[in-house]
Amino acid sequence: MLAQAKANGTLRVANTQSSPPWSMLDESNNPVGYDVAIAREVGKRIGVPNVVFVADSFKNFVEGLKTGKYDLVMNDLTPTPEREQQVDFGDPYGVEDFRIFVPASNTDIKGKDSLKGKRVGVVTGSSNEIWARAHLNDSDIRSYDNGALIFNDLGSGRIDAVIISHFGGMKYANVNHLPVKEVGEPLIYQLSAPAMVKGQPALRAAINKAIAEMMADGTIQTIAKKWVGRDYDMAGTIAKAKAQKE
């Protein structure tokens, strides 16, 4: 696939374009965000500088790779045992913590233990849905195709809480001008890595080399400061999450 991408001169990368700060559309409807910037830099370093972004949803990513709709998925996608049975992952280039968001006026949800019997919104096919269905057996889990829809329903009272990343939640809250707050401790740290169809050792090796170089020369930290937050230590938090995983 690497040889094919080089021959075509194009690397096709899937993202949702609706999950800030990882991927979203700017005022001119061009894809931007942390994962978009990382994907462009990876393309450049592996010799395929023309990166074309394909919009899709989390629930379609694995199938889209398997059917050849795109070459890579780079959109805050966490390597899980279920996904790793179907696709291969490169080395992690991002990390985030998942939190519980509730309306600012809410007083009875204070953390994971108080979600019993509550209506909890998650993104369909995301690792927060997988986590919620595994750990919140007494909650009413409701899945949505994108985060904007979840926060609309949180704002209108159709659901009681949302489980989403800290970054994603803060962005949606700000965009929709919603009075919400985070409660409780982070539920999980999750690494994100590029996903590709199985059996592509040359592509995987090239991507891993590019990510290692970007980590070493500070590119990852620079891109994170621009898109994720000036004070966020992306490289350090990736190292922490890796150590926790091991």
- Give pLDDT tens digits for 104-154: 999 999 999 999 999 999 999 887 898 999 999 999 999 999 888 899 999
* The predicted structure's pLDDT at residue 128: 86
Question: Taken in order 22, 18, 208, 130, is the CA torsion positive or negative?
Answer: positive
For 96, left (φ over 0), alpha (ψ -120 to 50), or beta?
Answer: beta
pTM: 0.76
Specify the pairing of strand 31-32 against strand 24-25.
Answer: antiparallel
Q: Where are the domains of the chain?
A: 2-93+193-237, 96-189
Q: pLDDT per residue over 19-66, tens digit each?
A: 888 999 999 999 999 999 999 999 999 999 999 999 999 999 999 999
Q: Which of 172, 164, 126 is nearest to 148 (CA)?
A: 172
Would 2-93+193-237 and 96-189 be classified into the same CATH topology? yes
- What's the pLDDT tens digit per position in 61-107? 999 999 999 999 999 898 989 899 999 999 999 998 889 999 999 99
CA–CA dist 67, 57 (Å, integer): 15
Q: Read out DSSP for the chain? A: -HHHHHHHT-EEEEE-S-BTTTBEE-TTS-EESHHHHHHHHHHHHTT---EEEEE--GGGHHHHHHTTS-SEE-SS----HHHHTTEEE----EEEEEEEEEETT--S--SGGGGTT-EEEEETTSHHHHHHHHH-TTSEEEEESSHHHHHHHHHHTS-SEEEEEHHHHHHHHHHTT--EEEEEEEEEEEEE--EEESS-HHHHHHHHHHHHHHHHTTHHHHHHHHHT-TT--HHHHHHHHHHHH-
Percent of the chain scored above 90 by pLDDT? 71
Does domain 2-93+193-237 match CATH 3.40.640.10? no
- Strand-pair partners of 96: 190
CATH code reported for the domain at 96-189? 3.40.190.10
Whole-number pLDDT of residue 159: 97
Q: Give first-to-last CA distance, the chain, whole Å.
A: 31
